[in-house]
Amino acid sequence: MKIGKIPSDVLRRIVYSNITHHRPEVLVRPNIGEDCSVIDFGEYVCVLSTDPITGTTKDIGSLAVHISCNDIASNGVDPLGIMLTILAPPSTTEEELAQVMADANKAAASINVEIIGGHTEISSAVNQMIISGTAIGRQLKGQVVVSKGAQLGDVVIMTKHAGLEGASIIAKELEEKLTTILTSEEIFNAQSFSHDISVVTEGVLAWKIGVSSMHDVTEGGILGAIWELAEASGLGVEVYLDSIPVKAETLKISEFLSLDPYRLISSGVMVMTISEDKLSTLLATLKDSGIDVTVVGKIVSEGRVILKGDERKPLDPPDVDELYKALG
């Protein structure tokens, strides 16, 4: 099988088809495009998500916290705790482990999340350190945003810029190689994209305004995330490719390595849908909070297409993320 997230058809055929025992307390179950599970706790619901960091060895303590907490935020929920499982090879030093934990602690503090447990193990089963985070949040019942909530006629918006996380990872992992096409300032800028990798602020603000759905942009990039959101909602979508913002550094890296920046992992970016009557309020609220936001599409009844000038081409499901092509 290919490296990266399992394709949607394989998830349905092999993974989801084997999850047959259900409990009534589970309100949101695994599905394409859904970031979290939601469990009924009476007046409140418990929102949970889990994610590993496997595509890089740089800053994985920080990434592990933000990636899982971003999923919670995509439900409009402020994450409160995270559990971290660390699997490290025998070559790992105490200093390396200490740095990972210091980075994780700093990231958690920056979004007011507590590291509430986990597991740490040295194992010959891995050849590089892997961290899996499970984040937890709480919300009043009936107030959780889900990916399947998009409505016909909704506007599709995204925060920040495509390829944010992927460009940052590549700039750190392949810094020496990139010196042939990027200036030191451009490399620094690309590496610094990781400072914007949290979507907790925009997720909670968007929930307050009344978005119909949200999905954080991870493997498969912005185009993959929009496809997943449409798939979860059972609707079509038109994507305005020329409107999707991409930083100059990301474009240079993508051209040099023959990557598609619109299919490059983009944690730190949130895609949302909202009715037209609430759009101006959402745009103003996010911009007032210092968050770049762009209209990039519209939810339609059927068909998933990318519009570029006069061209129309199919919006395909996500495949192997472009990051693995760069680092493979």
- Identify the band that residue 210 occupies on the pLDDT scale cut at 50, 70 and 90: very high
Q: Is pLDDT of 34 > 90?
A: no
- What size, in residues, is the chain? 328
The domain spans of the chain are 8-140, 147-327
CATH tag for 8-140 (out of 3.30.1330.10, 3.30.450.20, 2.40.110.10, 3.40.50.150): 3.30.1330.10
Query: Which structure tokens are listed for 174?
Result: 């392949």
Sheet bearing 155-159, strands edge to edge? 213-216, 270-274, 155-159, 293-300, 236-240, 304-308, 311-314
Mean pLDDT of the region 233-260: 98
Query: Which structure tokens are listed for 67?
Result: 């990636």
Report pTM: 0.91
Distance CA 301, CA 283 (A): 24
Strands 114-122 and 79-88: parallel
The region that residue 258 occupies, defined by phi over 0 for left and psi between -120 and 50 for alpha, beta otherwise, is left
Q: Is pLDDT of 35 > 90?
A: no
> What's the pLDDT score for residue 32?
86
DSSP letter for each residue of 184-236: HHHHHHHHHGGGG---HHHHHHHHHHT-SEEEE--TTHHHHHHHHHHHHHT-E
What fold does the segment set 147-327 form as a domain? Phosphoribosyl-aminoimidazole Synthetase; Chain A, domain 2 (3.90.650)
> What's the pLDDT score for residue 252?
98
Distance CA 293, CA 244 (A): 10
SS3 state at 49: strand
pLDDT one-digit tens code per residue, 256-270: 999 999 999 999 999
> What's the pLDDT score for residue 53?
87
Whether 32 and 225 have beta carbons less than 8 Å apart is answered as: no
pLDDT one-digit tens code per residue, 167-202: 999 999 999 999 999 999 999 999 999 999 999 999
Counting Cα atoms < 13 Å in the Cβ hemisphere of 70 gives 25
